[in-house]
Structure 1
Amino acid sequence: MSSTKAAKLDETLLQFKLPVSVRNALIAMIGVGVVSFLIAFFGFGHETSRHMDEAGHFHHTNLGYHILLIGAYFVIGLSITGIFFTAIQHLTGSQWSVTVRRIFETYGLFAPVAGLLLVGVIFGMHDLYEWADAGVRENDHLIHHKAGYLNPTAFIIRCVLFIGVWSVFAYIFHGKSVGQDKDKVVDTTKTLAKISGGFILFFALSWCLMSFDLLMSLSPHWFSTMFGVYAFAGAFQTSLASYLIVIAILKKNGYLGEAVNENHYHDIAKFLLGMTTFWAYVGFSQFMLIWYANIPEETFFYEMRMTGGWGYTTLLLPFVKFVIPFLLLLNRPNKRNIDFLWKLAAWILTVQFFELFWLVFPANFEKFSILHFVLAFGGTVGVVGLFGFFVFKKFEKHSLVPVGDPRLDECLHHHQ
């Protein structure tokens, strides 16, 4: 970082009012989601599952709960990795991110709402998770041995615990930061740094367990110790991309001014490039180790995603989620161009849905269905619209930049 000419901080550009066009777009997204979910829930409430009972009859499942699971996990990823990125900035004493940090902080406030979405997943537990059936836990040898962990009571307790603790941390980070805007107490920064270490330790364990619960346990016979890290990489990649979309919307509507510039875009884009590469590394490592070991209890996870029309999605996933973003982010001018970045970011959010669809649906549906895909996409659009509406309304209540942070001046001198 060099300290040449500092950017100017115009506080009149930090008081946000949700533009009508953005509000209407977000409400339309929510509407699409509601319609998609209702069609799925009431029109496809008796779909044939790939699982059978002891008598050899196929179970039936409600499509709506699968769509709700994808949407809930999508926004949980956005919200909780927002808290994580906030904690990283505090723990490392980061200066470059001060003027964009309020975005990360605000994301975390959505955690309780995400918890309400999980209530719907809990109601649909028997449609989603084979292990939720007491008969299966009793008669399936492998699931019986996992029943101490995989049972409805333990599942609900973990959901409540994780969402509760994440929410507490989110409101502490945001509340103290907003309070510092007014009182300018330097010790608040030190306090947040100390709290951040504890959160990161809790996050590492809780995120992995939440990913095991919501996604990996859809196939309770399958297991991968790498899955939590794999899920984190995809969620954090998506969260980083979404920051660029939010910044682009704010800048387009005349907010932030010189407080956020191409150097901040560049830094976030570098994180995005790194996480894109990390996702590919973990994903390939998981696939290679399982496929090469050729243990039936592990390989079936990929086998059922290579038959029934799912093979095309499996082949497409690494190309759309890694190759395209990776190649486009290698170019330095691209990483400093917000008009380019928000479009790429929208692509990354779309392929995150694609990946979650690939993770969730084959576990219960033997054949790929374009109608299922369209309804699931519509449902996810709705949940993301709800998330966006919540975040932008929260922006209205406080300054868009932590003006009381003692590192603000260094951030305004940020150059590369």
Structure 2
Amino acid sequence: MSATPASLPAHWKKFLFAGLAALAVVWFFAFQAATHGDHRGPLSVILGALFWVATLIGLLMLTMITRVFDAGWAPVIRRTWELALPALPIVLLLSVVPMAFIPKFRHLLWEWTNAEHLLPSGHAVGHDPILQAKSWFLNEGFFLARIAYYVVFFAVLVWALRRGSFAQDTDRTAGHTHRLHAISAAGIPLAAVSLTMLAFDCLMALSYHWFSTMYGVWFFALSIRLALAFTVIATYRLSNGGWLDGILNQAHRHVLGCLMLAFTVFWAYISFSQYFLIYTANIPEETFWYNIREFDPVTGAKNQWWGVSLYLIFGFFLLPFLSLLFYRTKIVAGRLLAVASIIFVGGLVDLWFNAVPRQINAAGTPEGFVVSPFLTSYLAVDVLAVLGFGALVVAVLLRAAGRHETIPVHDPRILESINYHE
């Protein structure tokens, strides 16, 4: 798409209509699947949304972290983050909220909300001692209250951060920087707790028997990786005919590359540590989660998810890690874009690995269940959901770019950011 920096925001309606059309198709499949008692259609909505929720939460955390540390390189890039952030509560409202509040979807996705659902053991969920022990947290009233809280909390935090930043564009008051520093200092721990609970509710609770105290940290690491990959992809486009043309330089790419390398290692450390601790403890309520992602319960052979786990090791960790070790990968725009694209795709695969495998009742099998496979026609619906919500995010970003300054010219560190060097 050829556009000048001034005309680029005018394309927001195209992305809006494309996103709504894609999501209409996704929701159609979700309703069709729900009618036949199949959870996989509604799960496509959750997967597509959580991909962008994770990305936007990562952008939110990066916005606050760079504020707290007064990062001199950040202002010219941070404004693009701020333009995209309003999409976070919007994506939640169009996905997680209806899935949680409409009983049919809720009972299909979160089996623990349906007391009559039969487990592979033959017992009803309502009589499950594990659920009874967790009922202080896993009960429908508290669950719905938490879902509503996530929307309100992130909407308010995004509003507060954007309000001060955009106000500085007009009144040129340095005091906004100090207030945003304070808001960010308070917002980081609150957002950390909120994103952890969101990961518990939207992902870990899909298999409510399982639990991991490291899950929130994994989701944070994934969110930052996706946010940095999005930043590299977006700034690559915006520095070629967009508002960052002639502003984004090699040093900006280098710092983004260094951060991508750091969080690639951090993600791998958290993912391996979670696996290693669960493997070592060997508690059945924990090990089953990895077992169904490795073995076919009927034949005992490796299943499709084993291949997915190998991709996460070699494609989502080792390939970006080894690439980013080289200095030129971090400064050459095309190379960094390629690594960012690999991470972006890998993030979706990681969400598939965490959300899709499920024990499905199957009478006559040795264990009483089969595992939902990876290769199904719903993969196309998942990708369409990612593209649909992604188009909405871009629409929000471009619409905001047409209403606000795309470069924070009165930020106290703007000259340092524009002239940033290694």
Q: 1:137 to 1:45 in 2, by over 3 A?
A: closer
CA RMSD of aligned residues (A): 2.1
Determine the structure 2 residue equivalent to 1:134.
115
Deviation for aligned residue 1:225 = 0.4
Determine the structure 2 residue equivalent to 1:45.
34
Query: 1:408 is matched by which residue type in structure 2?
Result: I
1:400 and 2:391 equivalent?
A: no
**SS in structure 2 at match of 1:150:** coil
**SS in structure 2 at match of 1:127:** helix
1:304-335, Cα deviation, whole Å (9 max, x unpaired): 11134322212222222111111111111111
1:282 and 2:270 equivalent?
A: yes
Deviation for aligned residue 1:217 = 0.8
1: CA distance, partners of 2:322 / 2:289: 29
2: CA distance, partners of 1:157 / 1:32: 29
Determine the structure 2 residue equivalent to 1:160.
148
Deviation for aligned residue 1:118 = 1.6
**SS in structure 2 at match of 1:257:** coil
2: CA distance, partners of 1:38 / 1:343: 34
1:99-138 alignment to 2 at 5 Å? 99-116=76-93, 117-122=95-100, 123=102, 124-135=105-116, 136=124, 138=126
- Tell me how many residue pairs correspond in the alignment: 390
1:370-385 alignment to 2 at 5 Å? 370-385=376-391
Determine the structure 2 residue equivalent to 1:203.
191
Determine the structure 2 residue equivalent to 1:189.
177
Deviation for aligned residue 1:265 = 1.2
Determine the structure 2 residue equivalent to 1:56.
none
1:312-359, Cα deviation, whole Å (9 max, x unpaired): 212222222111111111111111122222232222221211111111
Match among 84, 88, 104 for residue 65 of structure 2: 88
Determine the structure 2 residue equivalent to 1:410.
416
1:238 and 2:226 equivalent?
A: yes
- The answer to whether the 8 Å contact 1:357/1:373 transfers is no
Query: 1:98 is matched by which residue type in structure 2?
Result: P
Query: 1:171 is matched by which residue type in structure 2?
Result: W
Match among 345, 351, 361 for residue 350 of structure 1: 345
Q: 1:159 to 1:273 in 2, by over 3 A?
A: same
Deviation for aligned residue 1:23 = 6.7
290-299 or 103-112, which deviates more: 103-112
Determine the structure 2 residue equivalent to 1:5.
none
1:334 and 2:341 equivalent?
A: no
30-39 or 61-70, which deviates more: 30-39
2: CA distance, partners of 1:254 / 1:72: 27
209-218 or 359-368, which deviates more: 359-368
- The answer to whether the 8 Å contact 2:10/2:398 transfers is no
327-336 or 309-318, which deviates more: 309-318
Match among 9, 24, 47 for residue 18 of structure 1: 9
Deviation for aligned residue 1:16 = 5.9
- The answer to whether the 8 Å contact 1:137/1:147 transfers is no
2: CA distance, partners of 1:111 / 1:33: 16
Query: 1:318 is matched by which residue type in structure 2?
Result: I
1:297 and 2:302 equivalent?
A: no
2: CA distance, partners of 1:317 / 1:46: 34
Query: 2:343 is matched by which residue type in structure 1?
Result: I
- The answer to whether the 8 Å contact 2:83/2:396 transfers is no
1:147-192, Cα deviation, whole Å (9 max, x unpaired): 1211121111111112211111111111111110111101111111
Query: 1:18 is matched by which residue type in structure 2?
Result: P
1:228 and 2:216 equivalent?
A: yes
TM-score, normalised by the number of residues in structure 1: 0.88
Deviation for aligned residue 1:270 = 1.1
1:64 and 2:45 equivalent?
A: no
1:208-231, Cα deviation, whole Å (9 max, x unpaired): 111111101111111110011011
**SS in structure 2 at match of 1:362:** coil
2: CA distance, partners of 1:95 / 1:410: 6
1: CA distance, partners of 2:24 / 2:343: 23
120-129 or 304-313, which deviates more: 304-313
- The answer to whether the 8 Å contact 1:273/1:325 transfers is yes
- The answer to whether the 8 Å contact 1:211/1:228 transfers is yes
2: CA distance, partners of 1:88 / 1:274: 15
Q: 1:329 to 1:79 in 2, by over 3 A?
A: same
- The answer to whether the 8 Å contact 1:16/1:399 transfers is no
Question: Identity, % of aligned pairs?
Answer: 29
1: CA distance, partners of 2:108 / 2:317: 32
2: CA distance, partners of 1:76 / 1:160: 15
1:37-89, Cα deviation, whole Å (9 max, x unpaired): 423542x3366xxxxxxxxxxxx433221011112211211222212111111
1: CA distance, partners of 2:236 / 2:15: 15
Deviation for aligned residue 1:367 = 3.1
1: CA distance, partners of 2:16 / 2:377: 23
Query: 2:98 is matched by which residue type in structure 1?
Result: G
Determine the structure 2 residue equivalent to 1:7.
none
1:16-52, Cα deviation, whole Å (9 max, x unpaired): 63365x875775565445434423542x3366xxxxx
Deviation for aligned residue 1:248 = 1.3
221-230 or 304-313, which deviates more: 304-313
Determine the structure 1 residue equivalent to 2:316.
321
Q: 1:40 to 1:194 in 2, by over 3 A?
A: closer
Deviation for aligned residue 1:378 = 2.1
Q: 1:25 to 1:394 in 2, by over 3 A?
A: closer
**SS in structure 2 at match of 1:252:** coil
Determine the structure 2 residue equivalent to 1:10.
none
Match among 202, 212, 222 for residue 214 of structure 1: 202
Q: 1:397 to 1:37 in 2, by over 3 A?
A: same
Q: 1:226 to 1:103 in 2, by over 3 A?
A: same
2: CA distance, partners of 1:268 / 1:194: 25
